Amino acid sequence: MEYKQYIQSNAHVLSLIVVSFLLFIFGLAELRNLELRNIELLANNTQSIYEHPFVVHSSALELQVIATKITAENQSLLLSLNPNPNPNPNPNPIIKADIAEMDRLIHVIEDLYLGDKSKPQELRAASQQWIKNVNVFRSLAKEKQLNEAISFIGEKLTPSFNELMVKNDYILNFSENKAASIYQASQLELIDAKKSLSRNILIFLLYFLSVGLLGTIYLLRTIHLKDKYLIQQRTLAELLIVNKEYKKMAVAVQTTTNAVTITDRFAHLIWVNPAFLSACGYTEDFVIGKTAGSFLQGADTSQDTVKIMREAIKNHKGFDVEILNYKKSGESFWQHIIATPILHNDGSAGYVSIQEDITQKNIINKMKSEFVSTAAHELRTPLTVINGYVELLIMDIGSKDEQREMLSTIHSQSQAMTHLLNEMLDIARIEAQAVGLYQMERQQIGPRLQTMADTFITPDNHNKVTLVLSPNLPEVKVDIAKLEQAIYNCLSNAYKFSPKRGEVTMRVSEVTHNKQRKLLIAIEDQGIGMTPEQLAHVCEKFYRADPSGAIPGTGLGLAITKAIITHHGGTIEIESEYGVGTKVMLYLPVA
C-alpha cells in the first residue's frame, strides 16, 4: 500500500517517461519524412538537369530538319524563278508552314537559353547568332529574295546552325556527365541519409532507454529515500526522547558541584564542566587539549597514584583513586577521581571522570584521628588518677580526711577532663570551619573589652586586667563571642604564667601593620616568659611550655586563639623573654 502511495506521489516521473516515449516516436516520424523529402529533392534536381539539354537538342534537331526541308523547297523555288522554267511567283505554302514551325522552335530555344542567364555564355551567344540569322532568312524569304535567301542559307544560316549544334552537343554531353555525377552523389547521400536515419534511431532509442532507466532509478531511489525518511522520522522521534534525557543529564552535569571531564584517546581534555574550572582556577581555553596531570600535579603529588592511573589508561580500564593536586594559585587540594573508559571501534579509549574535592573531608578525618589519638593520650593521666582513687575508696582504704582528699582530686581531674574535651571540640569545630560557626558583625569592640577586663578573674589571682583603650578606635567585623574566647585564652595564660599578684595589661589601638590599617589588641604580662625554642612551638596543639604539669592547662588555648584570629583575616604575633614576660599581639583588619 505504501508503494502505491509512493508511485502516486511520483506521478510526474511516470509522465516524464511517457512524454519522452511520445517524443521519441514523433522524432522518428519527422526524421523519416525529412529523409524522404531529401531523396525526392535529389531526384527532381537530377531530372531538371537532364530536361533542358534534351529539349534544346530535340528542338535543334527539328530546326535542322526544317532548315533542310526549306533548303530543298528553296531549290525548287529557284527553279521556278528561272526564266526558262515556268515562273511561280508565290512561295510554296509548305515553306510558310515550315517558317511558322521555325518560329515556334526559336521561341523554345529563346526560353531555354536566352532567358536563362545561368547557361554558358558561348552557348547563349551561339543561340543569339543563329536566331539572328534565322530572322534574316525569314525576312529574305518573306520579301521573296530567294537568291539572297538561298545564298544566306549556305553562307550564314547553316554554319551558325552547325555552331549551335556543336555547342548544344557539348552542353548535352556535359549535362549527361553532370547528371550522372549528381546521381551518384545522390545515391551516396541517400546511403548517408539511411545511415544517419539508423544512427538517429539508435540515438533516440538510447535516449528513450536512458530516460526510462533514469526514471526507474529515480523511482527506486525515491522509494528508498522515502523508506529512509520514514526510518529517520522514527529515529528522530526516538532521538528527541533521548535528547530530552540527555538535556536533563547535561543540566545535571553542568550544575553539579563535582568536577566532570571528558578526555580523548590520548588523555587530552576535550570537555570540562564549570565545577572543574572553579576547582582548579584555570580557564577553559587553557585546559582544553592538555592532559589534566600536566597542570594539576605538583611536588607532593603521589607518584604511586599517578602510576596506577597511567597503567589503567594504558590497559583501557577504569580507576578509582584519591590524589593530591594543585590549583592555579598553588594551593593544594585532595580529589577523589572515578574514571570510566569510553571504548572506540579501533580499540582505543577516552575517559569520563568525576572528581570530588575531598580536601575538607580529609581534614576532618585527620582531625578525628588526631582527636582520638590526643584524647586517648591526654585523658589517660586523669583517668588513671580517678580510677586509682576510686579503687581505694571502694576498698575503704584511708581515713575520712584522706578519702575526702581523694574525692577532691577525683573532682578536679574530672573538671580537667571536661575542660580538655570542650577545648578539643572547640578547636575541631574551628579548624573544620563548620557552617554557621561564626556570626560576623561590624561593630565597636571597645565597650565589650572594657566589660571583659572588669569582670575577668582567676581562682588564684584577684587582680583586674589593666585596659588601655586609644580614643576613636575603628570598627571591625568580628564574631564577638569567638573573639572574647581568643582574648580569654590569652589573659588566662598571662595570669597562669605570672607570679601571684602579677600585673596583666591589655592595650587596644589602631596601627599600620604590613601596610594595612589594623586594630591591635596587645596582652602583656610579667611572668616567667619563654625561651626561643619554646616560643617556636607555642601555638602548636597540646604543646605546653611547662611540661612538669605544675601549671594546669591543656596546651590548646593558643592554638584555638590562632585559629579564631586567622579566620577573622588577622594574625597573631608573640614576643617573649625568659624570666621577663610575654607579649601576645592580635591584629584584626579594620572594617
Structure confidence at residue 378 (pLDDT): 65
- Least confident stretch, 165-179, 249-263, 490-504: 165-179
- Beta pairing partners, 513: 516
Structure confidence at residue 30 (pLDDT): 61
Tell the residue number behind the cell numbers 536512458, with chain if given. 210
- Beta pairing partners, 504: 525
pLDDT exceeding 70 applies to what percent of the chain?
62
- Least confident stretch, 33-42, 47-56, 105-114, 266-275: 47-56
Structure confidence at residue 117 (pLDDT): 64
Q: What is the rounded distance in angstroms from the CA atom of residue 339 to the CA atom of residue 353? A: 4
Mean pLDDT of the chain: 76
Kindly tell me if the per-residue pLDDT of 540 is higher than 90: no
Structure confidence at residue 83 (pLDDT): 40
Per-residue pLDDT averaged across 187-205, rounded? 71
pLDDT exceeding 90 applies to what percent of the chain?
24
The string of pLDDT tens digits covering residues 216-247 is 777 677 777 666 767 777 766 765 675 576 56
Grid coordinates representing 451? 566589660
Structure confidence at residue 300 (pLDDT): 92
Residue 369 burial (CB < 10 Å; 0-12/13-18/19+)? Answer: exposed
DSSP 1: -
Per-residue pLDDT averaged across 199-214, rounded? 72
Helix (H) or strand (E) holding 18: helix 11-81
Structure confidence at residue 101 (pLDDT): 67
Per-residue pLDDT averaged across 529-546, rounded? 80
Q: What band does 326 get if pLDDT is binned at 50, 70 and 90?
A: very high
Q: Where in the chain is the domain with CATH 1.20.120?
A: 33-200
- Least confident stretch, 246-260, 436-450, 520-534, 545-559: 545-559
Grid coordinates representing 231? 526510518
Structure confidence at residue 289 (pLDDT): 92
Range with the largest mean pLDDT of 138-152, 546-560, 577-591: 577-591
Within 10 Å of residue 515's Cβ, how many Cβ atoms?
5
Do the Cβ atoms of 270 and 288 come closer than 8 Å? yes
Name the 3-class secondary structure at 169. Answer: helix
Q: Where in the chain is the domain with CATH 1.10.287.130?
A: 358-437
Rounded to the nearest angstrom, the gap between the alpha carbon of residue 486 and the centroid of all alpha carbons in its chain is 61
Which has the higher per-residue pLDDT, 76 or 315? 315
Sign for the CA dihedral angle at 188, 191, 196, 197 comes to positive
User: CATH class for domain 440-589?
Assistant: alpha beta
Report helix angle 400-432 to 557-567, nearest 10. 20
Kindly tell me if the per-residue pLDDT of 375 is higher than 70: no
Kindly tell me if the per-residue pLDDT of 105 is higher than 70: no
Kindly tell me if the per-residue pLDDT of 80 is higher than 50: no
Region class of 401: left (phi > 0), else alpha (psi between -120 and 50), else beta? alpha
Range with the largest mean pLDDT of 54-58, 147-151, 172-176: 147-151
Per-residue pLDDT averaged across 475-479, rounded? 92
Structure confidence at residue 415 (pLDDT): 76
Q: Where in the chain is the domain with CATH 3.30.450.20?
A: 259-357
When the candidates are 2.30.300.10, 3.40.50.300, 3.40.50.720, 1.10.287.130, the CATH number that belongs to 358-437 is 1.10.287.130
Which has the higher per-residue pLDDT, 352 or 189? 352
Structure confidence at residue 50 (pLDDT): 45
Q: What band does 322 get if pLDDT is binned at 50, 70 and 90?
A: very high
Q: What band does 79 get if pLDDT is binned at 50, 70 and 90?
A: very low
User: Phi/psi of residue 241, each to 5°?
Assistant: -65, -45
**Nearest one of 54, 64, 48, 51 to 164, comparing CA atoms:** 64
The string of pLDDT tens digits covering residues 1-31 is 444 555 555 566 566 666 666 666 666 666 5
Per-residue pLDDT averaged across 266-283, rounded? 92
Q: What is the rounded distance in angstroms from the CA atom of residue 410 to the CA atom of residue 106? A: 176
Instruction: Determine how β-strand 441-443 pairs with β-strand 476-478.
Output: antiparallel
Which has the higher per-residue pLDDT, 460 or 570? 570
Residue 530 burial (CB < 10 Å; 0-12/13-18/19+)? Answer: buried
Q: What is the rounded distance in angstroms from the CA atom of residue 587 to the CA atom of residue 568? A: 10
Q: What band does 287 get if pLDDT is binned at 50, 70 and 90?
A: very high
Kindly tell me if the per-residue pLDDT of 40 is higher than 70: no
Structure confidence at residue 548 (pLDDT): 53
What does the DSSP assignment read for 439-497?
Answer: --EEE--HHHHHHHHHH--BTTB-PPPEEEE-SSPPPEEE-HHHHHHHHHHHHHHHHHT
Range with the largest mean pLDDT of 59-63, 418-422, 456-460: 418-422
User: CATH class for domain 33-200?
Assistant: mainly alpha
Per-residue pLDDT averaged across 544-554, rounded? 62
Reported pTM: 0.39
Kindly tell me if the per-residue pLDDT of 570 is higher than 50: yes
Q: What band does 84 get if pLDDT is binned at 50, 70 and 90?
A: very low
Q: What is the rounded distance in angstroms from the CA atom of residue 185 to the CA atom of residue 178? A: 10
Do the Cβ atoms of 126 and 114 come closer than 8 Å? no
Contacts of 432 (CB under 8 A, 6+ apart): 360, 363, 364, 367
User: CATH class for domain 259-357?
Assistant: alpha beta
Q: What is the rounded distance in angstroms from the CA atom of residue 413 to the CA atom of residue 384? A: 10
Kindly tell me if the per-residue pLDDT of 510 is higher than 90: yes
Q: What band does 179 get if pLDDT is binned at 50, 70 and 90?
A: low
